[in-house]
Every structure is written in structure tokens, then in C-alpha cells.
């Protein structure tokens, strides 16, 4: 499917703005790059993750810079610990600041969050996994989820949609979704250990005829190229989000280590980018 890249580099080149949404709605959202930060090798230079072994003061400088550049609410920063689950939850002003200054006070066990409060800045960290951004303009609800292969198999994207439907009576056709930069099928090779549960998940949503869009067999038996972002798109469409309300990045974090951190390409010793989303009106 031919589609304009929804994430565009800002003029200062510090992050990618989700311009498709920002130009049309009162929301600020985007995805950072590895460029123009303060961290030293092997985390050079714009590492947003405390948990990788970087100096905490440098991570905090990078986070401050993001909030200043993107006009985000520093006091409303919320992070969760990301354990490759499908657990998500609502956050409010009572959670403001959690995970901002240290990993220890991030919300435990979650891999996604949502809010309807303008002072909250939802953030999540990535270095190949799939970032999922959610927005319901009518209800002014925003959400963010971390979908690695385990989260994808557990249907974390569908969990967000179904939670909004149950709690807010927001129908799937009222939700916009953006799928951010991640490792793409050109670089993501998996074995049956991952492929089998992924196929089972697709079958659960009656997507048997779409498996070839997600898995490309390689010459080595039991090895595949995996198009994980496409798997998430198909699952979201299966639970009712219209295809034309999903925008999807084609940027590969592994291909472009000049711009992104890649856990797989860099052997696990690298920094993290941040996905972020905030309703307009939050105070900087």
C-alpha cells in the first residue's frame, strides 16, 4: 500500500513528528531519533532510557530537551516499565511524573496506557519493537502501546481498542491509529518459536489468508522474515479500526542505525527512542 510517511523529521532534526495528526488535531505526538543528544557511546547520543546502563543525568538532559523542543508537559511525563505484556491502564494527574526521573517509579507491569487529561504526557521506549499510537478525536482520548512480538501475539493493540469500547463507548471506527518506526521485515528474521504463536494469533482473528503479509519463509527451514508492524495493522483492522484510519511508518530502525537505535542490529547494547503523545493544552 502506497502511503505518505506519517512521521516527519522536524526542522531541528531532534525528533519525528506525527505530522499527519498534528496538522489536523489538537494533539502532539512523535518519535525521537538517536541524534542531537547528550549521551556517550554506545548510547550516542539521544538515549531516553534509564535501564540500558547510561548515566542518569544524561538521560534526564535528553528528556528535558525533548520536552522543550516538542513543547511537551515535563511535569506530566508518565512512563511504564514495559515487560512485553498486554496490560494497559488509565493514567491521570495522580500519575504525573511517574517514570520521568527514574525507572523505579515507572508504572510496573504495563506495556500501554491511555488518558483523556491534557496535562498527561504518555511515553514509551523503543529500539526495534512496534510503537502504537491511538487517538479518538470525539472523546479526546489518547493511548500509547509497546508491541514487541510477545505484545503482538497477546493482541495489545486490540486490547486498547476493546478497552475504549467498553469503558467509553468509543467504537473502533471512531479511533485513529498510527504505527511508528520499528524493525521491518527486511531485517527481522525469526524462527518457528515466534512464528507459530504469531500465526495462531492471526488465526484467532480469522486472518489465515493474511499470513503471507506477515511471514516470508526463508531458504532455511523454520526461518522467516517477519513484518511485525503489518501484523499489528491486520489485527487492528480485524477488531474494526478502518484501514484508512491507520497510518503506518515504513522506517526501519535496523536499516537506519544512523538515525535510530536498534537492539538487534547493535547486539543489544544501545539506547532507546521514545514514542510520545499528549493532548494539546498540557502545560510545559
Nearest to 66 by CA among 150, 123, 8, 104: 123
- Judge whether 200 lies within some domain: no
What's residue 280's pLDDT? 87
What's residue 282's pLDDT? 54
Task: Kindly list the distances between the CA atom of residue 147 and the CA atoms of 27, 114, 125, 131, 251, in Å, as whole numbers in the listed order.
Answer: 22, 15, 11, 6, 16
Give the span between the Cα atoms of 157 and 145, in whole angstroms: 7
Give the span between the Cα atoms of 228 and 128, in whole angstroms: 10
Neighbours of 163 (CB within 10 A): 19
pTM: 0.97
Domains of the chain: total: 1
- Judge whether 146 lies within some domain: yes
- Judge whether 170 lies within some domain: yes
Section 222-231 average pLDDT: 97
Nearest to 90 by CA among 39, 141, 37: 141
Section 106-121 average pLDDT: 97
Cβ burial 5-30 (10 Å sphere, 16+ → b, else e): ebbebeeeebbbbbbbbbeebebbbb
- Judge whether 120 lies within some domain: yes
- Judge whether 202 lies within some domain: no
Residue whose C-alpha cell is 491509529? 177
CATH of residue 166's domain is 3.60.140.10
- Judge whether 214 lies within some domain: no
- Judge whether 86 lies within some domain: yes
Burial of 165 (0-12, 13-18, 19+ CB in 10 A): middle
- Judge whether 49 lies within some domain: yes
Q: The domain containing residue 149 runs over which residues?
A: 7-183+244-279
What's residue 2's pLDDT? 46
* Mean predicted lDDT score pLDDT of the chain: 96
Amino acid at each position: 500500500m502506497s502511503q505518505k510517511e506519517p512521521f516527519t523529521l522536524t526542522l531541528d532534526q531532534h525528533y519525528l513528528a506525527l505530522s499527519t495528526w498534528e496538522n489536523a488535531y489538537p494533539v502532539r505526538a512523535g518519535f525521537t531519533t538517536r541524534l542531537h543528544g547528550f549521551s556517550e557511546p554506545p548510547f550516542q547520543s539521544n538515549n531516553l532510557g534509564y535501564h540500558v546502563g547510561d548515566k542518569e543525568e544524561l538521560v534526564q538532559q535528553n528528556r528535558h530537551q525533548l520536552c522543550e523542543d516538542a513543547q511537551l508537559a515535563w511535569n506530566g511525563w508518565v512512563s511504564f516499565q514495559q515487560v512485553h505484556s498486554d496490560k494497559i491502564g488509565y493514567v491521570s494527574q495522580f500519575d504525573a511524573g511517574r517514570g520521568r526521573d527514574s525507572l523505579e517509579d515507572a508504572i510496573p507491569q504495563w506495556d500501554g496506557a491511555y488518558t483523556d487529561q491534557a496535562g498527561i504526557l504518555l511515553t514509551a521506549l523503543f529500539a526495534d519493537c512496534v510503537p502504537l499510537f491511538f487517538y479518538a478525536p470525539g472523546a479526546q482520548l489518547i493511548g500509547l502501546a509497546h508491541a514487541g512480538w510477545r505484545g503482538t501475539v497477546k493482541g495489545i493493540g486490540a486490547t486498547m481498542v476493546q478497552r475504549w469500547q467498553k469503558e467509553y463507548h468509543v467504537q473502533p471506527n471512531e479511533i485513529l491509529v498510527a504505527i511508528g518506526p520499528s524493525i521491518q521485515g527486511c531485517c527481522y528474521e525469526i524462527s518457528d518459536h515466534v512464528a507459530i504463536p504469531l500465526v495462531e494469533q492471526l488465526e484467532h482473528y480469522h486472518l489465515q489468508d493474511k499470513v503471507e503479509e506477515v511471514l516470508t519463509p526463508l531458504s532455511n527451514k523454520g526461518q522467516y522474515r517477519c513484518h511485525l508492524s503489518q501484523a499489528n495493522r491486520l489485527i487492528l483492522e480485524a477488531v474494526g479500526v478502518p484501514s484508512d484510519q491507520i497510518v503506518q511508518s515504513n522506517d526501519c530502525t535496523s536499516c537506519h542505525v544512523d538515525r535510530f537505535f536498534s537492539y538487534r542490529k547493535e547486539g543489544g547494547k544501545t539506547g532507546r527512542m521514545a514514542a510520545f503523545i499528549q493532548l494539546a493544552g498540557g502545560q510545559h
